[in-house]
Structure 1
Amino acid sequence: MTQAAQAGAADWASNHSNEATRDELLKRLAAELLHADSTGVPVPPLRDRVLDMSLDDAYQIQEAQLKHHQAAGRVLAGRKVGLTSLAMQQQLGVDSPDFGYFFTDMVFNEDAVIPSTSFISPKVEPEFGYTLKETLQGPGVTREQALAAIDQVYPAIEIIDSRVQDWDIKLVDTVADNASCGAIAVGTVPLDVQLENLAEVECSLLIDGHKVASGKGKAVMDDPIAPLVWLANVLGEQGVALEAGQLVLPGSFTGAMPVVADSTATADFGDLGSLTISFS
């Protein structure tokens, strides 16, 4: 083998070794997050432990956890889009949305009493909850197709939680941590609203009966249908569809507010409906 060929072979081996090492590191970080989820003991920020950590790296960590849970028999109930409002982007210092998943055992309904000990540092966000009557398979999903796929719109609350210490997160940290999803609460009675009016719907977040924040549907990417379109197309690029029957949360009307044991949280849509949950 010539000297040039030997050098080329050495470079190839080095690059592939680095790739393998990086993949192994991402798998270890996924395992750390799974352990944090089961023990309630958070982990240090991930961005500090992967050189030039990318969004692709973060989604690879998220996907590894999804596959682990599904292999254990957990059933996917739907998807959430996060960081869609200016309030949440400012709160976490990011400028783009992200997405995560939730399972059937993470979904609660009206008047649920949810153990606060199930979380590390929970916060709540008021949202719409879309049930789908048609499958959305991107890329190329249009707003019209997304509208046609929505069956009902329900009041919803996402309970966000961070397996990363002290909520010290940037975009890659929250993406890797399943977009900081802790649980989902969704009403049993649909909101009495036309889809074309969702942007003007106002929702207030109440903690223990006191209004702490409010916003309109247009706070969600200027159009609360836009996150559904975005999600369908991003997942479609990975060969994944949003299936009929799934629940999709498009993002919060407001910034997230913390909750503790013995508190209640209400997403109040006025005359359209509401949803209240409690924490024990």
Structure 2
Amino acid sequence: MTGLPTETIAAIADELAGAERDRTTIPLLTARHPGMTVDDAYAVQGEWRRRAVAAGRRPVGRKIGLTSKVMQAATGIDEPDYGAIFADMVYENGSVIEHGRFSNVRIEVELAFRLAEPLDGPDATIFDALRATEYVVPALEILSSRIELAGRTIVDTISDNAAMGAMVLGGTPVRPDDVDLRWVAAMLHRNETIEESGVAGAVLGHPALGVAWLANKLAQHGDRLEAGDLVLAGSFTRPIWVQPGDTVLADYRDLGTITCRFV
């Protein structure tokens, strides 16, 4: 249940849009609105997303966050969340990316699912998610936090579009029944040094479970995943900080490599 007045939700959405536009951060929402709930946070995100669509941004999918124990430990938050992906957030493999476009910039290693058909909750299963998937492809997520990091709760994170900044797609697309997705592994390099590694099974035991979780969570908010949607299933490594001048490369072995450079 939402507890914040509609005008407060709108005002927070305005703050977050301004922080994204001005590339700044705002103080913790939970410190200023101590009674704020997860439902309030999704209401803020929904209002921010609605305004972005009205302004001409094209939605292309959703991201799932905090689906692995390493990410939950890294953030101190113990449940998944989701956010919106717009077309202007998606970069091709090998892109040169403006670091200053984002705030608190970090990189995560993930798999992205491209859906061939809609996926409805509230009772979606892993098998429904796999059946609805056209292909799975390596992805890097660029985290951007428009709310100060210290002391964040899941309410702050959800309101902040689950810290979605952008994503890079690359490597080799595979059909979900052509590979055991649990055992897709990656090594994450920054400037020729391996910083993180992991396997996709760290995401809830199977990354497609994240997609099913998302479909069921969206159903609670009167929404669903559509054919053609891109779903970032969640990181299976801890995030690494990146600075201007850094080159990032993730090696997924049989699924290829994905890279980007920040300037």
Check whether TM > 0.5. yes
Q: Which has the higher helix share?
A: 1
Q: Give the total of aligned pairs.
A: 262
| Residue of structure 2 in register with 1:114 after alignment | 97
**Correspondence 1:94-113 to 2 at 5 A:** 94-113=77-96
| Residue of structure 2 in register with 1:58 after alignment | 41
Share of identical aligned residues, percent?
A: 39
Larger radius of gyration between Structure 1 and Structure 2: 1
CA drift of 1:200 comes to 1.3
> 95-104 or 163-172, which moves further after superposition?
163-172
Runs of at least 4 residues of structure 1 off by over 4 A?
Answer: 191-196
CA drift of 1:232 comes to 0.6
Q: Does 1:40 align with 2:23?
A: yes
SS of alignment partner, residue 212 of structure 1: strand
CA drift of 1:23 comes to 2.4
Among 135, 141, 144, the residue aligned to 2:124: 141
SS of alignment partner, residue 196 of structure 2: strand
| Residue of structure 2 in register with 1:171 after alignment | 154
**Which whole-Å CA distance do the structure 1 matches of 2:112 and 2:4 have between them?**
40
Among 54, 72, 76, the residue aligned to 1:93: 76
**Which whole-Å CA distance do the structure 2 matches of 1:76 and 1:207 have between them?**
30
**Which whole-Å CA distance do the structure 2 matches of 1:96 and 1:40 have between them?**
27
Q: Is the 8 A contact 2:63 2:83 kept in 1?
A: yes
CA drift of 1:194 comes to 4.2
**Correspondence 1:97-246 to 2 at 5 A:** 97-166=80-149, 168-187=151-170, 189-191=172-174, 194=177, 197-246=180-229
SS of alignment partner, residue 69 of structure 1: helix
Q: Is the 8 A contact 1:127 1:253 kept in 2?
A: yes
Gaps of 5+ in 1: 1-18
Gaps of 5+ in 2: none
Aligned-partner residue type, residue 254 of structure 1: T
TM-score, length basis structure 1: 0.89
**Which whole-Å CA distance do the structure 1 matches of 2:35 and 2:13 have between them?**
17
**Which whole-Å CA distance do the structure 1 matches of 2:42 and 2:20 have between them?**
17
Aligned-partner residue type, residue 247 of structure 2: T
